[in-house]
Structure 1
Amino acid sequence: MPDEKQPCVYILASGHYGTLYIGVTSDLMKRLWQHREGALPGFTADHGVKRLIHFELFGDMERAIRREKQLKNWRRQWKINLINEVNPEWRDLAVGLGFAPLA
């Protein structure tokens, strides 16, 4: 489980091969709660993007932000390939971090 305060790039999805969202945070657990509760107005709330399907931890925020920008510039298929490499079932990884399964 990631530390409370550790730079992290994460990918959320609305479902299997659904809408994707890439973000960066220093507090993954807090950010996941915000996304899952709809506490962050905007794209993820509007599109029901709540499932954590990929995340990468970094030693510093500068590297995390560089990686976020890199992933955001990738073609959709490259992002899907990355997800399928490590999470081919597109399981909601937040459940393994202590969150309840989504309905």
Structure 2
Amino acid sequence: MKPGFVYIVTNKPNGVLYTGVTSNLDVRIYQHRTGVFDGFSKKYGCNRLAWFEAHDDIAEAIHREKRIKTWLRAWKVRLILEGNPDWRDLYPELVGLPEGEVD
């Protein structure tokens, strides 16, 4: 089994939301931050990691991502607020940077 992650990135607190899935979270978020790929998240500047959840199996993560993508925006916002009420960018913590320091 290959592990997987479901994540939500945003452009600012309570801003545009993008939900995705990956097997390598730190690399994928770095790609969002640097705008490597064209698409929705680059167009709207979604480069701040607001929420994520780990799964033991990538298939489980893909299933969860598909469900979350069908949710109302309010439900996604509630999910973020439960674990990240200040809408902090979680990327620095993910890659072990000191608080407030970005790549």
* TM more than 0.5: yes
SS of 1:17's equivalent in the other structure is: coil
Q: In structure 1, how many angstroms separate the alpha carbons of the residues matched to 2:38 and 2:56?
A: 28
- The aligned counterpart of 1:6 is 3
What is the identity, as a one-letter code, of the residue corresponding to 2:5? Answer: C
Select 1:34's aligned residue among 31, 34, 37: 31
Q: In structure 2, how many angstroms separate the alpha carbons of the residues matched to 1:32 and 1:81?
A: 21
1:95, CA displacement in angstroms? 1.1
Q: In structure 2, how many angstroms separate the alpha carbons of the residues matched to 1:44 and 1:73?
A: 17
- The aligned counterpart of 1:44 is 41
Structure 2 gaps of 5+ residues are none
Select 1:78's aligned residue among 75, 79, 84: 75
Select 2:60's aligned residue among 63, 73, 83: 63
Q: In structure 2, how many angstroms separate the alpha carbons of the residues matched to 1:101 and 1:59?
A: 28
How many pairs are equivalent? Answer: 98
- The aligned counterpart of 2:90 is 93
Q: In structure 1, how many angstroms separate the alpha carbons of the residues matched to 2:45 and 2:10?
A: 8
SS of 1:69's equivalent in the other structure is: helix
Q: In structure 2, how many angstroms separate the alpha carbons of the residues matched to 1:101 and 1:12?
A: 16
What's the Cα RMSD here? 1.4
TM-score (norm 1): 0.89
Q: In structure 2, how many angstroms separate the alpha carbons of the residues matched to 1:61 and 1:95?
A: 23
- The aligned counterpart of 2:15 is 18
